């Protein structure tokens, strides 16, 4: 009798185990799945105000050695630049730039080299020592220099300058050592139009790629083109239409992205690809809206375009076919790519979005800690990572914050 009871108990135990096995497996799978989900944990916070309620804007973060260059931008005040420790968030140095001749553009692109950080501001460019924050040199040019500095050599950069008074435009090589500039290409404006040069980038040791818009006086009729320039001779080897004729000044305003022998460009609501070898347009796609506040990003498997309609579009690099699109928020920040995710801040809502680069799904959204509690403290379009791509760096208008990224 005792043996029968033992047998019955063993059978019941086995049946109970089999009954709960699927539940246990579901629980185990769920735990493993949760462990792989994206997690963001704040590691540090650095305030740039004495009062916790004041707010400002900032440039996009710039990497220099192990530091992250940021800024405090206030209307009517000189810009203040900060060098943060990307790991710990402490301020290594700060500089109030009293020689800046114009408003600092938050979307500018400085040039970083061993000589220092070259910062464009109005007509002046300032070179700052990375370690100390001391000013090395200041160079003020005639005309209106573009706010994007593109590498040319290890110690020099390219800058487009449009001289409205002299009615001519230039591409110049500027030395990061002393700020001296030399012209690479100059074009005089026709009597009937203004001709603005933009977005020069170095293709190789022979070629430069730049874009230009010619706008006719009176009608504002616009012709927008891209050009391949042999920089040793100043000869235009190839050119093509960047954007169809219009009366709104539309053309390429974002820096071309070079991958191998292909250049990817965005012109208002069009994205297209040009061969830098043959000078032929390979594909072009039309989008519902333009790209105003952001910039395109290329990875090994796609071209990402955050547009003003609040969608991010991923295109196939080879033929421009749409891989996926996802809704976030209008007037977005630049995209940051880290650990198989894309991070972006919506300018219209101040929310951070984390997106799977593979399928375009929003896997997490995050508001600034004081989003609901203190006026104007929401995440700005300022967004970046540390040099290893392990810490996401955000700005809420009052504090810079570092978030650890892990799965």
Task: Check pLDDT > 50 for residue 109.
Answer: yes
CB atoms under 10 Å from CB of 194, counted, come to 17
C-alpha–C-alpha distance, residues 309 and 157, integer Å: 33
Q: What pLDDT score was predicted for residue 180?
A: 95
| pLDDT tens string 343-361 | 999 999 999 999 999 999 9
342 falls within a domain: yes
Each residue's pLDDT tens digit, 298-333: 988 899 999 999 999 999 999 999 999 999 999 999
In a domain, 148, yes or no: no
Does residue 104 have a pLDDT over 50? yes
pLDDT at 33: 38
Does residue 17 or residue 373 have the better pLDDT?
A: 373
- Name, in order, each residue with C-beta under 8 angstroms of 19's C-beta and a sequence gap of 6 or more: none
Measure the CA–CA gap between 40 and 367, rounded to whole angstroms.
12
Question: Does 108 map to a domain?
Answer: no
Reply yes or no on whether the pLDDT at 35 is more than 60: no
Q: What is the pLDDT of residues 183-201, one digit of tens each?
A: 999 999 999 999 999 999 9
| Full domain range(s) for residue 312 | 288-407
Confidence at residue 105, expressed as pLDDT on a 0 to 100 scale: 85
Which pair of structure tokens corresponds to residue 26? Answer: 């579901």
Report how far Cα 369 is from the mean position of its chain's Cα atoms: 24
45: in domain: no
Task: Specify the pLDDT at position 18.
Answer: 44
Checking if the pLDDT of 230 tops 90, the result is: yes
Q: Give a yes or no: residue 35 inside a domain.
A: no
Stretch 214-238: mean pLDDT, rounded?
Answer: 96
The answer to whether 380 and 57 have CB atoms below 8 angstroms apart is: yes
Q: Which two tokens stand for residue 291?
A: 């790209």
Say yes or no to pLDDT of 7 above 80: no
What integer pLDDT is reported at residue 21 of this predicted model? 46
Residue 391 lies inside a defined structural domain of this protein: yes
CA–CA distance, 363 with 360 (Å, rounded to integer): 9
Instruction: Please check whether residue 336 lies inside any domain of the structure.
Output: yes
Residues 6+ apart with CB under 8 A from 205: none
Q: Yes or no: say if 306 and 344 are a contact pair by the CB < 8 Å rule.
A: yes
Residues 137-184 have pLDDT tens digits of: 999 888 889 999 999 999 999 999 999 999 999 999 999 999 999 999
**283 bridge partner residues:** 273
pLDDT at 29: 41
- pLDDT at residue 387, rounded to an integer: 84
CA torsion, points 163, 168, 173, 177, in degrees to nearest 10? -30
Q: Residue 231 and residue 171: Cα distance in Å, rounded?
A: 10
Check residues 32 and 314 and name the one with the higher pLDDT: 314
**Secondary structure, 3-state, the chain:** CHHHHHHHHHHHHHHHHHHHHHHHHHHHHHHHHHHHCCEEEEEEEEECCCCCCCCCECCCCEEECCEEEEEEECCCCCCEEEEEECCCCCEEEEEECCCCCCCCCCCCECEEECCEEEEEECCEEEEECCCCCCEEEEEECCCEECCECEEEECCEEEEEEEECCCCEEEEEEEECCCCCEEEEEEEECCCCEEEEEEEEEECCCCEEEEEEEEEECCCCCEEEEEEEEECCCCEEEEEEEEEEEECCCCCECCCCEEECCEEEEEECCEEEEEECCCCCEEEEEECCCCCCCCCCEEECCEEEEECCCCEEEEECCCCCCEEEEEECCCCECCCEEECCEEEEEECCCCEEEEEECCCCCEEEEEECCCCCCCCCCCCCCCEEECCCCCEEEEECCCEEEEEEEEC
Q: What is the value of pTM for the model shown? A: 0.88
The answer to whether residue 71 sits within a structural domain is no
Predicted pLDDT at 66: 83
pLDDT attached to residue 36: 61
d(CA 113, CA 115): 5
The pLDDT-based confidence of 37 (bands split at 50, 70, 90) is: confident
Separation of first and last alpha carbons in the chain: 55
Tokens at 351, concatenated: 């929310």
Q: Residue 122's pLDDT is what?
A: 86
Domain count, the chain: 1
Position 42 confidence tier, pLDDT thresholds 50, 70, 90: very high
Work out the mean pLDDT of the chain and round it to a whole number: 90
- Predicted pLDDT at 185: 97
Q: Could you read off the pLDDT of 71-89 as tens digits, one per residue? A: 999 998 889 999 999 889 9
CATH of residue 312's domain is 2.40.10.480
What span, in angstroms and rounded, lies between the C-alpha atoms of 192 and 109? Answer: 32
């Amino acid at each position: 009798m005792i043996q029968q009871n033992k047998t019955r108990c063993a059978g019941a135990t086995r049946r109970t185990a089999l009954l709960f096995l699927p539940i246990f497996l579901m629980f185990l799978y769920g735990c493993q799945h949760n462990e792989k989900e994206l997690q963001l944990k704040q590691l540090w916070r650095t305030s740039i105000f004495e009062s916790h309620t004041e707010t400002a804007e900032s440039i996009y973060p710039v990497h220099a050695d192990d530091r992250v260059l940021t800024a405090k931008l206030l209307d009517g005040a000189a810009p203040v630049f900060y060098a943060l420790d990307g790991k710990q968030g402490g301020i290594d140095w700060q500089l109030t730039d009293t020689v800046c001749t114009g408003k600092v553009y938050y979307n500018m692109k400085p040039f970083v080299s061993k000589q220092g950080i070259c910062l464009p501001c109005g007509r002046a460019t300032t070179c700052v020592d990375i370690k100390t924050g001391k000013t090395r040199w200041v160079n003020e040019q005639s005309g209106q220099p573009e706010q994007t500095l593109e590498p040319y050599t290890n110690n020099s950069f390219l800058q487009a300058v449009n001289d409205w008074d002299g009615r001519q435009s230039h591409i110049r090589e500027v030395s990061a050592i002393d700020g001296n500039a030399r012209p690479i290409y100059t074009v005089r404006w026709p009597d009937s139009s203004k001709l603005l040069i933009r977005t020069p980038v170095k293709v190789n040791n022979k070629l430069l790629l730049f874009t230009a818009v010619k706008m006719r006086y009176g009608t504002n009729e616009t012709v927008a083109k891209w050009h391949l320039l042999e920089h040793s001779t100043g000869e235009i080897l190839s050119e093509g239409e960047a954007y169809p004729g219009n009366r709104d000044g539309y053309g390429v305003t974002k820096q071309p992205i070079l991958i191998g022998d292909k250049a990817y460009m965005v012109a208002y609501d069009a994205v297209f690809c040009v061969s830098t070898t043959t000078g032929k347009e390979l594909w072009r796609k039309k989008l519902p809206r333009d790209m105003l506040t952001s910039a395109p990003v290329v990875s090994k498997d796609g071209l990402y375009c955050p547009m003003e309609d609040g969608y991010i579009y991923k295109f196939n690099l080879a033929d421009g076919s749409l891989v996926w699109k996802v809704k976030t928020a209008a007037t977005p920040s630049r995209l940051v790519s880290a650990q198989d995710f894309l991070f972006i801040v919506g300018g219209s809502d101040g929310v951070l979005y984390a997106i799977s680069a593979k399928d375009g799904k929003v896997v997490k959204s995050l508001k600034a800690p004081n989003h609901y509690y203190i006026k104007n403290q929401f995440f700005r379009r300022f967004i970046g990572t540390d040099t290893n791509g392990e810490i996401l760096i955000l700005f809420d208008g009052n504090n810079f914050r570092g978030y650890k990224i892990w799965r």
